[in-house]
Amino acid sequence: MTLTGHHFIAGREAAPHGHQFHAFNPATSAQLEPTYGDASHAEADEALRAADAAFDTLRLAVPETRAALLDAIADEIMTLGDALLERAHAECALPMARLTGERGRAVGQCKLFASLIREGSWADARVDHALPDRQPLPKPDVRRVMMPIGPVVVFGASNFPFAIGVVGTDTVCALAAGCPVVVKGHPAHPGTCEMLGRAVLNALHRVGLPAGCFSLLHGKSNDIGTTLVKHPLTQAVGFTGSLRGGRALMDVAAARAHPIPVYAEMGSVNPVFVLPGALKERAAKLAEAYIGSVTMGVGQFCTNPAVVLGLKSDALRQFITNAAALAAKSAPQTMLHRGISEAYDAGTAVWQTINGLQLAGQSETPPSETASQAACRIFTTTIDVLEGNAELQREVFGPCSIITQCPTLEDMLRYANSLEGQLTATLHGTVEDLREFAPLVRVLEKKVGRIIFNGFPTGIEVCSSMHHGGPYPAASHSFFTSIGTASIYRFVRPVCYQGFPEEALPELLQDANPRGAMRIVDGEMKR
C-alpha cells in the first residue's frame, strides 16, 4: 500500500494542509514519509455530520451485518500483511514479535465482538409482561434494552498501535454497538493509522454499510482533538493516555452545553504487595518475574508495577539484591518516541534527587541517545520516604520501579488507604498470607479495578470478565472497562418501551426471541 498522508472523511480522501508533520523512526531518528497535516475544523465537522447521517443505517442494521463488518475488518487487517508490521516497527520501534502478537489481539477482538453481538445477550434485554387483572391497579407491559448512543470520537494510544488504536477496542465495540466512529489518529504513528483506516473503509464497502460510519483525522496539535470533543454531534469519547491529556478532554466535554462522557483510561502506579510467604517460597523466581514485568515493552504499559511494598526482613533485602542484579543485566531498549524517552529520563532524574531514595540497580549498558533508549532502573526506599514525597505517587512511564521496605502490616494498610484510584494492585503470597493479610485485600477492593494474586499486572487478557479501569484518576469512570466485551456498555444506553405492540418492538424484546439470547423475562433469566 502506498501511503498518502490523507485524512479519510466518510470515504473521501483529503490531502494534508495547515500545520504539517512527519513520523520519525525512534531507533534512528530518521524522518518517515509521507507528510501529514492537522485536520481543520471544517473537516472535523464534515466527519461528524457524515457519522450522524450514517447512524440510523448502522444502528438499525441487523446484528449479522455489524458482525460481518467486524469479521471483514479482521480480514482486511490480515490482508495488509507484513507491510503493516514493518510500518508500525519503523514508527514505534516495537519488536516484530510483539507487533505480530498485537495484530493477533486486534483481529481476535474483532471476532470476539462479532460473536458477542450475534448472540445478543450483551444488550441486557428485560421483559415484564402486562398483568391487566392485577389489583388494585393493572400492570403495564414494560420492556428494556440497550441501544447505541450515536457518533463516538476515539483517540488512539501511543503504546498499542493496533489493539488500542484505529482498530482497537474503542472503535470495534462502538461499531459493534451500532455507533459510527471518528478516530483521531496518533501523530507518532500516522502511517500505521492510515493503513488501518483504509482497512476499515474497505470492510465497510464489502458489507454495504455507508462510509460515514468511519472517519480518520490526523493531527499533531491539541486543537483538532478539542474540536472533535466540543462538536455537538459527538456523543461519547474513548481515550487512552496520560492523566493530563485525559483530564483536559474531560474538562472540555463537561463544559459543553450538553455534557458528554469521556471514557478515559489514564494509568497508575499499580502497587505490588509482596507478602512473607511468597518471599519464603520463591524469592529468586519472584524477582525474575518482577523485572520481566517492569521491562516488558520497555515499561510502556499503564499497568507497569511501579511500586513494590514488602515487610522489612532479610528475605526482602535478598529480593532487592536479586532484582537489582537482574536490572543490571537488562539491556536498554528503544521507546516509542523521543518525547517519551526524554520524559522517562527526566522523571527518574527527579527521583534521584529525593533524600532516602536509592538507585539499587540499573542497566549496565548505557542507553543510546540517538535510539531514544531507556535503561531499566530499580530504586529502593522506606515507607516514610514513599509516603512523604508526592513525586513518588505519580506514574513515570518506562522501565522503572521502587521497592519499599515496611516495618509492619499497619504501614502497608496505611499506604493502601492513602492510594488514589489505581488500575491494578497485586498480592504475592500464600493462602495463609491471604488469611493473615485479609484487611489489606479489603482496602484494595475499594481502591483498584483489578486485583492480581501471584501474577503481575502487565499482559491483559481480552475476555468477558476483564475489567481495565478503576477509580479516578486511573480512569474517568470506575464503572466501565476499556478492555474486554463489557467495554461495549460505554457506548449504549437503556431504552424502555411500555405498552408497545409485539411487531413494533426491537427483535431482542419480542416474545419469540429469534436469536435465543439470554434475557430477564418476568424476573427470571432465560433464553
Tell me how far apart the alpha carbons of residues 507 and 514 are, in angstroms, rounded to a whole number.
Answer: 7
| Residue that the C-alpha cell 460481518 belongs to | 68
Amino acid, res. 381: T
Tell me whether residue 265 is one of the annotated catalytic residues.
yes
Tell me whether residue 302 is one of the annotated catalytic residues.
yes
Q: Which of 194, 265, 400, 406 is catalytic?
A: 265
Tell me how far apart the alpha carbons of residues 245 and 241 are, in angstroms, rounded to a whole number.
Answer: 7
Q: Which of 302, 376, 400, 406 is catalytic?
A: 302
Amino acid, res. 303: T
Cell of residue 121, nine digits: 445477550
Report helix, strand or coil for 328.
Answer: helix
Tell me how far apart the alpha carbons of residues 129 and 125 are, in angstroms, rounded to a whole number.
Answer: 13
Tell me how far apart the alpha carbons of residues 527 and 519 are, in angstroms, rounded to a whole number.
Answer: 6
Tell me how far apart the alpha carbons of residues 107 and 466 are, in angstroms, rounded to a whole number.
Answer: 18
| CA distances for 341 relative to 52, 148, 220, 299, 379, angstroms | 40, 40, 18, 11, 18
In DSSP notation, 330-379 reads SPPEE-SSHHHHHHHHHHHHHHTTSTT-EEEEE-SSPPPTTTTEE--EEE
Q: Say if strands 400-406 and 20-24 run parallel, antiparallel, or are unpaired.
A: unpaired
Cell of residue 284, nine digits: 529468586
Tell me how far apart the alpha carbons of residues 429 and 415 are, in angstroms, rounded to a whole number.
Answer: 18
Report helix, strand or coil for 506.
Answer: coil
Q: Which residues are tagged catalytic?
A: 265, 302
